[in-house]
Amino acid sequence: MNLQTVKNRFGIIGNSEPLNRALDVAIQVAPTDITVLITGESGTGKENMPKIIHHYSSRKHHEYIAVNCGAIPEGTIDSELFGHEKGAFTGATDSRKGYFEVADGGTIFLDEVAELPLPTQVRLLRVLETGEFIKVGASKVKKTDVRIIAATNENVQKAIQKGKFREDLFYRLSTVPISLEPLRERKNDIHLLFRKFSADFAEKYRMPGIRLNPKAVDILEKYLWPGNIRQLKNVAEQISVIENSREVDELILTKYLPDIDSSRNLPMVIDGKKESDNFSERDILYKVLFEMKQDVTEMKRVIVDLLNNNNLSSNEKTALITKLSDSSKLDGEIKFDEQSNNTVSLQEENIREEPPSYNISFQESVEIEESLSLEEREKELIQKALKKHNGRRKNAAKELGISERTLYRKIKEFEILK
């Protein structure tokens, strides 16, 4: 089958070798019932591959259902996929067919499959191995003949190591893996894609198409495109609609490219991990604890400054230090020199005659009084993220480094008003 015919039918632009290889694999496995796992960054066009596989398979006349696993709340995901019986839970006023029952004989595309909760992963594994499932609230086993194609932008091996994804399910899903490379690795396709999008928007909005000068093309191809094809399409649409000039130079283009400075437009790596690596709730707590430790350190500096610069008597300073010693444990030591009426560091104390001193040990451990406020700090972070993104949960979840489903659960748990 001609690759160009497939590209034209599904609107795929580009001639890079990895892209052609991915399309070729998709066409090869289409006539079979082999399970396929598609990986790649967000915005690389993963949703096109299952459509191609379904279209060129013997199942093309049956249902094709695409499910975004990350957009369905954890409490309802089993009902959505497998259905439920009447009275199975509060609000279940009628029986309902799930996607696996509706798509019998067809294809189900599970996007963001790594977001599935572990209990649902067990159910999915059973469907893959035996074709059997049980509706929520039922006891009767049902059979289904569904081909499963899954996709994820996460590193599944890391998710397995963190205990977030079942290893046996990964091997059942990835019988044939297809990987889509990011747009920054397809430099020769970037301008081609931009021209195609510009032509489409010129037709859509009934206006002349935009053109890039050579310097603008050079910037376009050197930019890293963290949002991949989706971001490139958005930039083409913005320029087409907003700019009066149809000839786009480098100055106009750079206005629509965030962090155009190449030194800032690089993937951030922290301890060998990309910033885009998945964060768990535990990671958020670590972040809160780290911020609290910074606050404690700053408080220690303020205390030392107050003791040195305020006109307190020796007895008053002694009483203050004793009170702080009883109520707070911070990192380091402060000593009070009664002769000079000042606080001094340990290094200064070592070179003097040893006067009466009062030690305050500042330990790194967080006391119970501080840890009790973790819930409030977490709630505060969530509220700030929601406010920053005007209530858009998807953007807020990305800001916090958690999944949208986890954010949804936290909003209900903390009773955060929209």
The pLDDT tens digits for 48-71 are: 999 999 999 999 999 999 999 999
Give the C-alpha distances (Å, rounded to integers) separating 256 from 146, 214, 219, 243, 305.
43, 17, 12, 11, 47
| DSSP type of residue 117 | -
Region of poorest pLDDT, from 95-109, 254-268, 369-383: 254-268
How far apart CA 214 and CA 205 sit, in angstroms, is 25
How far apart CA 68 and CA 145 sit, in angstroms, is 20
| DSSP type of residue 210 | P
pLDDT at 13 over 90: yes
Give, to the nearest 10 degrees, the angle between helix 17-29 and helix 48-55.
Answer: 40
H helices, E strands: number in the chain: 19, 16
User: pLDDT at position 55, please?
Assistant: 96
How far apart CA 227 and CA 230 sit, in angstroms, is 6
How far apart CA 178 and CA 192 sit, in angstroms, is 23
Give the type of residue at 85.
E
Which residue blocks in 77-162 are alpha helix, DSSP H? Answer: 77-82, 99-102, 118-130, 156-161
Q: Is 40 left (phi over 0), alpha (psi -120 to 50) or beta?
A: left
CA atoms within 13 A on the CB side of 417: 0
pLDDT at 188 over 60: yes
User: pLDDT at position 311, please?
Assistant: 60
User: pLDDT at position 189, please?
Assistant: 95
- Give me the percent of the chain exceeding a pLDDT of 90: 59
In which band, very low, low, confident or very high, does the pLDDT at 324 lie, cut at 50, 70 and 90? low
Give, to the nearest 10 degrees, the angle between helix 393-400 and helix 404-414.
Answer: 100
How far apart CA 149 and CA 103 sit, in angstroms, is 13
Residues with Cβ within 8 Å of 234's Cβ and at least 6 positions away in sequence, in order, are 227
pTM of this prediction exceeds 0.75: no
- What are 166's two structure tokens? 């079942």
pLDDT at 316 over 70: no
- Give me the percent of the chain exceeding a pLDDT of 70: 74
User: pLDDT at position 180, please?
Assistant: 96
User: pLDDT at position 261, please?
Assistant: 53
**Range 216-232 average pLDDT:** 95
* Max CA separation in the chain (angstroms): 93
Q: Are 227 and 193 in contact (CB under 8 A)?
A: no
Between the ranges 46-60, 77-91, 279-293, 337-351, where is the mean pLDDT highest? 46-60
**Range 353-378 average pLDDT:** 50
